[in-house]
Amino acid sequence: MMYGLGFISFVKQNYSLNSIKLVGKNDIDKNGSINDSLLSISELISLKSPEFNNNAYSFFNPLLFNGHLQTFYAAVGDFTKIDEIYYGREILQYEDGGIGSIDRVISKDQFYSNHCNDNDKIHELLPPRTRMLTDLEIKDYYSQKDNQYRPLLVVLHGLTGGSFESYVRCLFSKLHEDAQVFDCLVLNSRGCANSKISTPQLFCGLWTEDLRFLIKNLKLQFPSRPIFAAGFSLGGSMLANYIGQEGDDCQLTAAAILGNPWDLTESSYTLSRSLIGRNIYSPIMAMNLKNLLLKNLPELSKDELFQQSFNKNFDKINSITEFDNFFTCKMFGFNTAFEYYRHGSSVNRLLNFRIPTLIINSRDDPIVSSDSIPYKEVEANPYLMMLITDHGGHLGWFKYNNERWYADPLAKFFQGYIDLVELDKNGKTKVVVDQKSLPVQNSFVKDRIDIEKIQHNYTI
CA distance 103 to 89: 4
Q: Is 436 exposed, middle or buried (0-12, 13-18, 19+ CB in 10 A)?
A: exposed
Q: Give φ, ψ of 102 to 5 degrees.
A: -120, 140
Distances 310 to 205, 303, 339, 432 between C-alpha atoms, Å = 21, 11, 21, 53
- Selected catalytic residue, list 303, 345, 394, 408: 394
Using only C-alpha atoms, what is the Rg of the chain?
21
Burial of 255 from C-beta contacts in 10 A (0-12 / 13-18 / 19+): buried
Q: Which residues touch 381 (CB under 8 Å, ≥6 apart)?
A: 16, 350, 351, 353, 438, 439
From 49, 58, 233, 319, active-site residue: 233
β-sheet bridge partners, residue 20: none
Nearest residue to 196 (alpha-carbon basis) of 314, 89, 307, 317: 89
The answer to whether residues 204 and 334 touch, using CB atoms and an 8 Å cutoff, is no
Q: Distance between alpha carbon 450 and the CA centroid of its chain, in Å? A: 22
Residue 76 · residue 68 · CB < 8 Å? no
**Active-site hit among 365, 369, 390, 391:** 365
Neighbouring CB atoms inside 10 A of 226's CB total 24
> What per-residue string of b and e applies to 124-140 under the rule 16 or more CB within 10 Å gives b?
eebbebbbbbbeebeee
Q: Which of 8, 183, 18 is nearest to 104 (CA)?
A: 183
Residues 451, 352: Cα–Cα separation, whole Å: 22
Q: Do the Cβ atoms of 9 and 392 come closer than 8 Å?
A: yes
* Annotated catalytic residue 365: yes
One-letter amino acid of 199: T
Beta strand segments in 390-440, E = 431-432
The string of DSSP letters for 74-128 reads HHHS--TTSS--EEEEEEEE-TTS-EEEEEEEE-HHHHTSGGGGTTHHHHHTSPT
Does 394 qualify as catalytic in the annotation? yes
Beta bridge partners of 388: 12, 361
DSSP assignment of 281-297 equals IHHHHHHHHHHHHHHTH
- Please give the distance of CA 454 from its chain centroid, rounded to a whole number: 24
- Catalytic positions: 233, 365, 394
